[in-house]
Chain A
Amino acid sequence: MSNKIASGKIANNPKFHELVHKRSVFAWTLTAVIFTLYFGFVFLIAYGKAFLGTPLFEGSVTTVGFPIGVAVILSAIALTGIYVRRANGEFDELNRQIIEESR
């Protein structure tokens, strides 16, 4: 039905291209961040065992590896939070305008 006409209007709307560009840059950047964090961790485990086993402070039993591992877990949660916040706010608002203007 009118979706076809709307699609045509959207394809020509510069805001659509702005949305796609902004969102994909953001999504791929965050993907690169989590990828780097995780594979950095994997390489530390393969090659930096001694470093991960260093005491956190003078005389402590807790080693450097623990906060690092937990930090990777927490950063995964934080990154999803950051993405959802921007996507459900800024990007969805832009999206709403695009749909509105296509009618």
Chain B
Amino acid sequence: MKTIKNAFAALAGSGSLLLANVALAAGDMGQAEKQATNWHAIIMFVLFVSVTLCITYWASKRTRTASDFYTAGGGITGFQNGMAIAGDYMSAASFLGISALVYASGYDGLIFSVGWLVGWPVILFLLAERLRNLGKFTFADVASYRLAQGPVRIFAATAALVVVIFYLIGQMVGAGQLIKLLFGLDFIYAVIIVGALMMVYVTFGGMVATTWVQIIKAGLLLGGATFMALGVMAHFGFSFEALFAKAVEIHPKHGAIMAPGALVTDPVDAVSLGLTLMFGTAGLPHILMRFFTVPDAKEARKSVFFATGFIGYFYILTFIIGFGAITLVSIDPQYLVGGVAGGGLKGGNNMAAVLLAHAIGGDLFLGFISAVAFATILAVVSGLTLAGASAISHDLYASVIARGRVTEGTEVMVSRVASIFLGIIAVILGIIFEKQNVAFIVALTFSIAASGPFPVLVMSMFWRGLTTRGAVIGGSIGLVMSVGLVVLSKTVWVLSFHNAAAIFPWNYPTLFSMPASFFFIWLFSILDGSPRAVAERAAYEAQAIRSETGLGAETASSH
């Protein structure tokens, strides 16, 4: 089960490419080796930054109201939002991490690709249209729709910020390591550049700029990965059988790469991992927020369909890329440490896809793929920062502290300040955590998301009996329990705190913390006999009508 955790870390569905580093190369690669300056990559990256900054300038002219800032005025189409979701979700970790996992152990890579994809249908069937119909700017709008604003928003904003900050740590550390490897920049400059750019995108361009950064990044990543996969398949006459045959012949594990290996063995961990992957996505604040950017439920549904298509297609490509790296990179001395087989890849296994880019398209394409990897990080951290800033400004400041007595201008101003604040925090934490073991962070964020926000959202939409007390207490239990169990598991208790044995014997808490969250939400709701609880249950019908029909839902602003 050690591998599974490392692999999880490596993959980080929505982002943390960091894990890429920590995980697969566990041990040898805590510190990425600084490489020679890669000019092709830098030029292409500067090009990407220039284009996105122009878009940010254009977006800033169009960002006047709170609705513009948080949700791009609700004017994004289903197709655009599908691309943006894919851009928010497909991380450098899934690109580099999954292909590295396939490179190292073949079939096992597919297990994660599948897990990270199957959360999407669930979001569509249960959440997407209801989110759109009930919410305005944040998922707390939905959770608190018929409940007491104060306590529910404090809970939801806390959960969102916990997820966002942990996630940002992962992203920043990973970004620093990756950029050091790809561009030959120092860790600290790399982290500052990422932090500064994301602050500019979010503060000036709000959701409009963030969306377009994500759309462009998704296009570049899908295009680059398609080109690589075609390059690999062309080598083998477009025959998978020929590709696999060559890979089995070359790979040190031979035939074993064609079947699942040691990745999943313990059934409890297997199921817990499955639940984490499947339901974690449905509780990520930056993902949920994207459903408020489309004009109506119809477009919200379409966006999930497009997103699922793009993400699924991308995961199939990473698989071909991983096998391509086995056949084209692992035997080429120029890519191996010391130029000999068994020396390992230069820069570690996470470089498999990047080195394959060189094998297929030379220096220029290597530069392109490096720049795409950097752009990928920027798109993900921008989405996270915006989600965190909205939790601070819309939920905590406007709704709780100012109790709604606040102008839109002030709220947006608070949001911009919050983005800068989060950016600075992210840079500082990135630097602090540079040398730490951060492999547990992705497991942690997905587990928290599946155990805190997700159960509260589902219950608020589907269960008449939910009360404020149930939502806040039950959701908090899920949140605390998921964090606590991860701390007591081997990843943190043994590997970070150096204790002899883990207190919690499994790697993923979700199998326990998610049902516990649902149970306590139910228990504290049915025990709640307060007048407020009675009113909250009575308000369910009106909520259900809006939730199902969209009557009274927020509409797109007129531009």
Query: CB-CB < 8 A to A47: which residues of B?
Result: 267
Does B332 belong to the interface (CB within 8 Å)? no
How many Å lie between the Cα of A70 and that of B122 in the bound state?
18
Does B107 belong to the interface (CB within 8 Å)? yes
Q: Tell me how far the C-beta of B478 lies from the nearest C-beta in chain A, rounded to whole angstroms.
A: 20
Q: How large is the interface on A (under 10, 10 to 19, 20 to 34, 35 or more residues)?
A: 35 or more
How many Å lie between the Cα of A72 and that of B110 in the bound state?
10
Contact flag A20-B548 (CB < 8 Å), given A42-B270, A62-B241, A73-B114: yes
Q: Number of B interface residues at 8 Å Cβ cutoff, please give it.
A: 56
Which A residues, 1 to 49, have Cβ-Cβ distances below 8 Å to chain B? 3, 6-7, 10-11, 16, 19-20, 23, 27-28, 30-31, 34-35, 37-39, 41-43, 45-47, 49
Q: Contact: B301 with A83, CB < 8 Å?
A: yes
Which residue of A11, A46, A61, A69 is within 8 Å of B264 (Cβ)?
A46
- In chain B, what residue has the closest Cβ to A63? B258
Contact flag A74-B312 (CB < 8 Å), given A45-B264, A65-B107, A87-B129: yes
- In chain B, what residue has the closest Cβ to A29? B125
Q: Tell me how far the C-beta of A36 lies from the nearest C-beta in chain B, rounded to whole angstroms.
A: 11
Q: Contact: A77 with B245, CB < 8 Å?
A: no
Query: CB-CB < 8 A to B121: which residues of A?
Result: 30-31, 34, 76, 79-80, 83
Which residue of B267, B278, B315, B551 is within 8 Å of A38 (Cβ)?
B278
How many Å lie between the Cα of A3 and that of B305 in the bound state?
31
Does A92 belong to the interface (CB within 8 Å)? yes
Query: CB-CB < 8 A to B302: which residues of A?
Result: 84, 88
By DSSP majority rule, is chain A's interface helix, strand, loop, or mixed?
helix
Q: Contact: B125 with A7, CB < 8 Å?
A: no
Does B248 belong to the interface (CB within 8 Å)? yes
Q: Contact: A20 with B122, CB < 8 Å?
A: no
- In chain B, what residue has the closest Cβ to A95? B549
Q: Tell me how far the C-beta of A13 lies from the nearest C-beta in chain B, rounded to whole angstroms.
A: 10
- Tell me the B residues contacting A by CB distance below 8 Å: 107, 110-111, 113-115, 117-118, 120-122, 124-126, 129, 240-241, 244-245, 248, 255, 258-261, 263-267, 270-271, 273-274, 278, 297-298, 301-302, 304-305, 308-309, 312, 315-316, 541-542, 544-546, 548-552
- Tell me the A residues contacting B by CB distance below 8 Å: 3, 6-7, 10-11, 16, 19-20, 23, 27-28, 30-31, 34-35, 37-39, 41-43, 45-47, 49-50, 52-53, 60-63, 65-66, 69-70, 72-74, 76-77, 79-81, 83-84, 87-88, 92, 95, 98-99, 102
